[in-house]
Structure 1
Amino acid sequence: MSKNWIFRTRRDGSPVPDSFHDAAERCGISPRLAEILWLRGLERPEELAEYLSPGLRHLARPSLWPGMAKAASVLAEGLLAGKKLAIWGDYDADGVTSTALALQVLHHHGYDALWHLPDRREEGYGMNVKGVEKLAEAGASMLLTVDCGISDAATIARARELGMDVVVTDHHLPPETLPDATVLCNPRLADCPCASLAGVGVTFFLMAELNARLAEAGSPRMDMRRTLDLVALGTLADLVELEGQNRILVKNGLLVLAEAKRPGISELKAVSGFAPLASLGAGQVIFSLAPRINAAGRVASAETALELLCAKDCDSAADLARTLDGYNTQRRQEEERITEEAMAQAEASLHDPALVIAGRDWNQGVIGIVASRLVEKYHKPTLVLCADGGTLKGSGRSISGFDLHAGLARCAEELLSYGGHRMAAGVRVLPEKLEAFRSRFVSVVRESLGDEPVPAVQMIDGNLDFKAATNFIFLKELEMMQPFGVGNPEPVFQSPPLLVKRRKIFGPQKNHVLLELADESCGITLQAKAWRQAEQFPADLEGRRVLLAYSPGIDMYNGAASVDVRIRDWKLA
């Protein structure tokens, strides 16, 4: 299905004012880049300056975050009084990096904390009473949750019964009834500088404040910049919006990640195919580093990933990184198998406005990825389910026009449980209720979206011919907009009509395509690539003219700079 190309505009339709152009000139950027940023919502000179130079001086004080100051006090007082602290994290990259960050700060100040990352297969998501009781038996009298806890009222109540002080740090949507913790730190609980912090972002601000409190008590202050590689990795892996505080954390974290002073990061980059000191973009972290951290929790134990990030030397880190790389290969194989089987089911339901796909032997660690792949291909709200004990557990992904959580709420009578938000959610249903749920969910989506397929949307940042796309000064300006991701997508431009001089399919699975394209308006020919989209480019394209939606960039291969053209979408001219 072709996408609808929509050019970015401001809601009021206003052009770039002279004052913004003046501010852009003072920042040393071109009118073209100024217009791109204006259309994306920047308007005040100070906003522009912070966006282009997101230095650490722009980070908000910890006291501005809900519960942060009190939580740091509880932890500092407890540690100084000799209480034993336990950390409960999540098994994904956000939770693992959060746990590693907290342990790093505590170790710097001389404290050895207990920790627990649940086993996805045996314990499932979140906290559980049995695990908390084991931590209490091991001597823990304080419990810190990272990237989880806001929905675990019963488990936290048990921890309090056992005499624990409980500090919850989380970033997920709070339920109506909050747990009775000693302190709750969640940016969604009150107005704060950035409601979309990842779990590792919340952990960073708490540990920064704890670091200051312990330093006041006489311990050497730690340089928190040393933890920003973990913050960047966890934040990018969790796909939160890269705006405001998140942009500052990730932009600076990528610089620390490039230094690779942490043995685990150095070896993780190596097994991912990068030089240890290579500078990585957000996409390279999201698609290469983060999957290897996540793979541990998906197919084995997240503890291996935590051990890698906490490794003290490169020898032990190298062994752990190779193990994670093996897990990731296993995860990819599982993902490909399940995706193929799920797409076969989807092809039988093409007339439905939503997909509910199930397989009993599918790995629950990859069904969320498979749901995303199906949404990418069919552009429909999608739920993928697998067997989990005597029930079916599902992971869902949505499209921009449908609120998945609200839709599941209308199917609640068919479900054992559900949770999530507008674009992603999880469900649990009895096998005998699956068909009733599928029918009800498809009806709810049809009521909302109608019977006609909803085309995907491709936002366009402006027109750009190949003469402008080969201007390295402009391409360097576009790099100032990094890191790209949710909330700050990479700019996409529409080309003039281009003559297709050559079409080549490449890759081990022959699923990538390279086009040699001539812009006859300026006499420049460039090569453009589309990844995993070969089937969308017919063999008879050669000799025809097309319009591209594309992103230009600088490719540094073997030290030589060239123009990299990535195809987002295309149409016949």
Structure 2
Amino acid sequence: MQWNIQNTVVPKNAEELIAVLITNRHIEDRQTFLHPKHPMDISLQEVGLDQKEMSKAVERLETARQNNQSVIIFGDYDCDGVCATAVLWETMHTNGWNVFPFIPNRQAHGYGLSSVALDEILGAAHKPAVLITVDNGIVAHTQFERLRQEGVYTILTDHHESDGKFPPAEAILHTTKLCGTTVAWMLARELGKSESIESMLDLCAIATIADQVPLVDANRSFALFGLEQLNQTTRLGLQLLIQTAGLQLGEIDTYAVNFGIAPRINAMGRLESALDALRALCTTNPTRALQLIGKLQDVNEARQNLTTEMIECALAQASEWKDERIIIVADPSFHEGVIGLIASKLTETFYKPSIVLSIGEKTAKGSARSVSGVHITNLLRSVKNDLLEVGGHPMAAGLKLEVGALESFKTHLYEQARIVVDVELLTPRLDVDCVIDPSLLSLEIVETLQQLEPFGAANREPIFAVDECIVEHCSPVGKEGKHLKLKLCVGTIKLDAIWFGKGEQCAAYPVGSAFRCAGYLRINEWKKRKNIQLLLKDIQAQ
């Protein structure tokens, strides 16, 4: 692994250390970053939303409330889409609107504001007067035109990248500076009472963190204050979900959201109906909450098993892509609800952009993930003649194509990747903030670093290099000895270290040998005793 030392300064005290980290994250206003605004105080302009469009949306919704007209909130089946639907539905429902949620079923309706989903909505006994999209819609040109012709007033709220033009919605609340839930929350803020709106920051935190948006500026505010709200949430479903995931209310951080809360919400949309995830977040009935969270847990376990099986199938196709600059795997057995997870795993393992396609009878649906420096959505749009649909972000995308176009698509994309993907971008790199002086290896310094939290995209947890680490002890630990525990001596400092998944490498680090280590500084607490621990990411010969 190649280390990228981002700053040559070796800080000697806490103030210098924070300054280095702020510089590495290209943060211009240190004070604002360390002390962000509360979301209630963030203006529309700050997040790229148009006041005129907001006013149009609010005015039309007020008319709908006064006339008891039907409003549909059209969400998405991922964590961001479910939370966005919950925020807006709860706000409008409790404030007197005749409002109903609609979250498409991945298998029955496909992604987003699809024609199949519209057939169901417009074919119902009572056609809605207003339809609001949350976390989707920015490329649904045909569908918005159809709604316009049907006389349905449309409000588009979304954060995905447009394809250069907006659909013909009557009001458009679009920005790429937020996630889908927080765009919906900005609309809800104009419609509801401040106390109830503020309580919904728990869902904003989950969505902001789970959707991997950059945790700077307004997103940092939503994540920071949202985590505070989440850690004291009164939502029965969330309380039970946290308990089921083996987490503790009051100790929820970005890691807990990413690996405990979000996967269970996402699992429903991947394999079954995301409406049950929505119900779990919104219910006030203890018995119902228990039933729904139990279902989320069962479906998440099924998702984990299915993911393992599909990864094995994807690896069996390695001969096709091992020499290419992008991974493309396709199979009829791939469940389209899990292909995004497979793409993420392939990219993480092989450090290449990855596309995983589920082949149906007539069409194939795909999910893509990328590495830093490769804009996967733009790369896919370079072969748009082979595609029926494509949309997404620089690091993730969704696509659809005819089965008959699959081989042409693969050929063209492999060719395009050879042209635009620099091979250097495919070398695994570890971004190390700086070399840390041994005198800073203390509990006080780790506590100082906590003022930079919450960590996530664009504000990753700091990784430090520690020079001249002498091995005093090394042993495999954990179930089946999967992990590696080391006791290191750094000058006069004794430092515990743990390296997950590297237990088999114990023999490579004999007592007395010297290495350069890189990792996260953490506080490890055992029997009410705290000590500093290095969570290793890599070790190099000194």
TM-score, normalized by length of structure 1?
Answer: 0.87
Contact 1:144/1:167, CA 8 A, preserved across alignment: yes
The yes-or-no answer on 1:48 pairing with 2:6 is no
1:250-261 to structure 2, matched below 5 A, reads 250-261=223-234
The yes-or-no answer on 1:489 pairing with 2:455 is no
Q: Specify the SS of the correspondent of 1:389.
A: coil
**2: CA distance between counterparts of 1:431 and 1:134?**
26
What per-residue deviation string (whole Å, max 9, x for no partner) do you get for residues 292-337 of structure 1? 0000000111011000000103332122111101111111111111
**1: CA distance between counterparts of 2:508 and 2:527?**
34
**1: CA distance between counterparts of 2:507 and 2:314?**
27
1:208 paired residue number = 189
Pair 298,350 (structure 1): closer, same or farther in 2 beyond 3 Å: same
Shift of 1:506: 4.7
1:7 paired residue number = 6
Contact 1:59/1:248, CA 8 A, preserved across alignment: no
1:216 paired residue number = none
1:255-294 to structure 2, matched below 5 A, reads 255-275=228-248, 277-294=249-266
* Aligned with residue 233 of structure 1, among 179, 186, 206: 206
1:61 paired residue number = 43
The yes-or-no answer on 1:541 pairing with 2:509 is yes
Shift of 1:149: 1.4
* Aligned with residue 525 of structure 1, among 492, 495, 509: 495
**1: CA distance between counterparts of 2:184 and 2:57?**
11
The yes-or-no answer on 1:565 pairing with 2:534 is yes
What per-residue deviation string (whole Å, max 9, x for no partner) do you get for residues 335-373 of structure 1? 111112212322664222221112220111111111111
2:318 paired residue number = 346
1:554 paired residue number = 523
The yes-or-no answer on 1:391 pairing with 2:360 is no
Q: Specify the SS of the correspondent of 1:357.
A: strand
Equivalent AA in structure 1 for residue 73 of structure 2: I
The yes-or-no answer on 1:179 pairing with 2:173 is no
Root mean square deviation, CA, Å: 2.6
Q: Specify the SS of the correspondent of 2:467.
A: coil
Q: Please, which runs of 5 or more residues in structure 2 have no aligned partner? A: none
The percent identity for this pair of structures is 28
Equivalent AA in structure 1 for residue 236 of structure 2: P
* Aligned with residue 80 of structure 1, among 43, 59, 66: 66
The answer to which of 233-242 and 385-394 deviates more is 385-394
* Aligned with residue 149 of structure 1, among 137, 161, 168: 137
Contact 2:270/2:337, CA 8 A, preserved across alignment: yes
The answer to which of 307-316 and 54-63 deviates more is 54-63
The yes-or-no answer on 1:38 pairing with 2:23 is yes
**2: CA distance between counterparts of 1:141 and 1:396?**
36
The answer to which of 385-394 and 346-355 deviates more is 346-355
Pair 520,186 (structure 1): closer, same or farther in 2 beyond 3 Å: closer
What per-residue deviation string (whole Å, max 9, x for no partner) do you get for residues 93-119 of structure 1? 001001111122123213341111000
Shift of 1:570: 2.1
TM-score, normalized by length of structure 2?
Answer: 0.92
Pair 135,298 (structure 1): closer, same or farther in 2 beyond 3 Å: same
Equivalent AA in structure 1 for residue 126 of structure 2: A
Contact 1:90/1:125, CA 8 A, preserved across alignment: yes
Equivalent AA in structure 2 for residue 311 of structure 1: T
Q: What is the aligned length?
A: 535
**2: CA distance between counterparts of 1:57 and 1:323?**
33
**2: CA distance between counterparts of 1:422 and 1:372?**
14
Contact 2:133/2:158, CA 8 A, preserved across alignment: yes
Equivalent AA in structure 2 for residue 379 of structure 1: Y
Pair 450,245 (structure 1): closer, same or farther in 2 beyond 3 Å: closer
Contact 1:552/1:566, CA 8 A, preserved across alignment: yes
What per-residue deviation string (whole Å, max 9, x for no partner) do you get for residues 44-63 of structure 1? xxx22222222417832246
1:103 paired residue number = 89
The yes-or-no answer on 1:513 pairing with 2:483 is yes
Shift of 1:410: 3.0
